[in-house]
Amino acid sequence: MEVDTCTAEESQQDELQDTVMPVHTNIKDIKNKSRRAKAFVEMKREKRKKKLQEAKEKKKLAAKLGKNAPPKKQPHTIESLREKDDTMVEEEDEELEHEEANDEYASYFTKSYVPKILITCSDNPHTKTIAFIRELCRIIPGAVPKWRSRSSIKKMVKKATDNGFTDILVVNEDRRIPNGLLVIHLPEGPSALFRLSNPKLCKDIHRNYNEITGHRPEVILNNFRTRLGRVVARMLGALFHYDPEFKGRRVCTFHNQRDYIFFRHHRYEFKNTEKVKLRELGPRFTLRLQWLQQGAFDGDYEWALKRHEMETSRRRFFL
């Protein structure tokens, strides 16, 4: 009887050892919640390990091959898959160079004058709009803020031209938040209206606007690839002095992505001879062109955004 008992227990243990948990190729097939969560975490860990291993191997291969290393793969984004447009320009376009050499901003890029900017807003501005204008004046050294005093734009254009200003910036607001920026180049235009969104003042990103020094900043105009984009880029670039003071280490960036122009303001800090860190100073905001007009707020419209007519494809952009 003792022998029979031992053999029964051994056979039972063998059956338990032979029992194998079902292998699920799809996590969704696991019914138990805790096992499903555990399997998901394990799957993510394995994917992360595999990705890091592939990155290390690519880095080793690039270091080994040097200049002959294969180029990095560009991710497929809406921006990279944008539709080709007839107005897109190449790096060396003689026709475009001739046009830009004779346009309204040719005298600025030949350093014939120093920009003098007038910044104003709508009547009875809110505190946030006033603070936004104050920080714009810190960004653009030499900019002069003025109260609107219920003056029309055409009267402001005439008076600013007589006083030697080269550009006017008008900050509009709605619901106590800046929501528009009108840029007028004097004396003969062009003029452009931008929708202003997501304004963040220095205090919103935990910075003090007094950190912004009076040095003239560098200006980066990035990813303006069409003729319209080049006009907008030249308009924004002409607001700043053409001779930056590198001692101040300030840089203002206008980055165009999917027709949204992102503005960022940084100061670069040297950690050592090889590493440089960017410190954002603020403010930050986003612009989107609404229309472009010939003349100083008095002329024909060269371009206007009509969303339902023009935005026929997600991959079609105008700047």
> What would the DSSP string read from start to end of 273-310?
SS-EEEEE-S-EEEEEEEEEESSSS-S-EEEE--HHHH
Q: What is the pLDDT of residue 136?
A: 94
Task: Examine residue 315 and state whether it is found in any structural domain, yes or no.
Answer: no
Q: How far apart are CA 145 and CA 119, in angstroms?
A: 5
Question: What is the average pLDDT across 119-137?
Answer: 93
Q: What is the pLDDT of residue 3?
A: 45
Q: What is the pLDDT of residue 55?
A: 87
Question: What is the average pLDDT across 102-129?
Answer: 92
Per residue in 292-301, pLDDT tens?
999 888 889 9
Question: What is the average pLDDT across 241-259?
Answer: 93
Looking at the fold, whether 277 and 162 belong to one and the same domain comes out as yes
Report the percent of the chain where pLDDT is more than 90: 52
Is the pLDDT score of 170 beyond 90?
yes
Domain boundary among 73, 102, 128: 73
Task: Examine residue 21 and state whether it is found in any structural domain, yes or no.
Answer: no
Beta bridge partners of 285: 263
Looking at the fold, whether 142 and 277 belong to one and the same domain comes out as yes
Out of 66-80, 115-129, 163-177, least confident range? 66-80
Task: Examine residue 10 and state whether it is found in any structural domain, yes or no.
Answer: no
Domain, as residue range, for 54: 32-73
Task: Examine residue 11 and state whether it is found in any structural domain, yes or no.
Answer: no
Q: How far apart are CA 243 and CA 141, in angstroms?
A: 12
Question: What is the average pLDDT across 153-177?
Answer: 94
Q: What is the mean pLDDT of the chain?
A: 87
Looking at the fold, whether 159 and 229 belong to one and the same domain comes out as yes
Task: Examine residue 293 and state whether it is found in any structural domain, yes or no.
Answer: yes
Looking at the fold, whether 66 and 110 belong to one and the same domain comes out as no
What total of structural domains would you count in the chain?
A: 2
Is the pLDDT score of 68 beyond 60?
yes
Is the pLDDT score of 57 beyond 60?
yes
Looking at the fold, whether 214 and 129 belong to one and the same domain comes out as yes
Which has the closest alpha carbon to 115: 218, 238, 233, 235? 238
Task: Examine residue 78 and state whether it is found in any structural domain, yes or no.
Answer: no
Is the pLDDT score of 319 beyond 50?
yes
Looking at the fold, whether 105 and 219 belong to one and the same domain comes out as yes
Looking at the fold, whether 59 and 98 belong to one and the same domain comes out as no
pLDDT band at 17 (very low <50, low <70, confident <90, very high): low
Query: CB atoms < 10 A from the CB of 291, how many?
Result: 14
Looking at the fold, whether 179 and 50 belong to one and the same domain comes out as no
Rg (CA), the chain: 30
CATH of the domain at 151: 3.40.50.10480
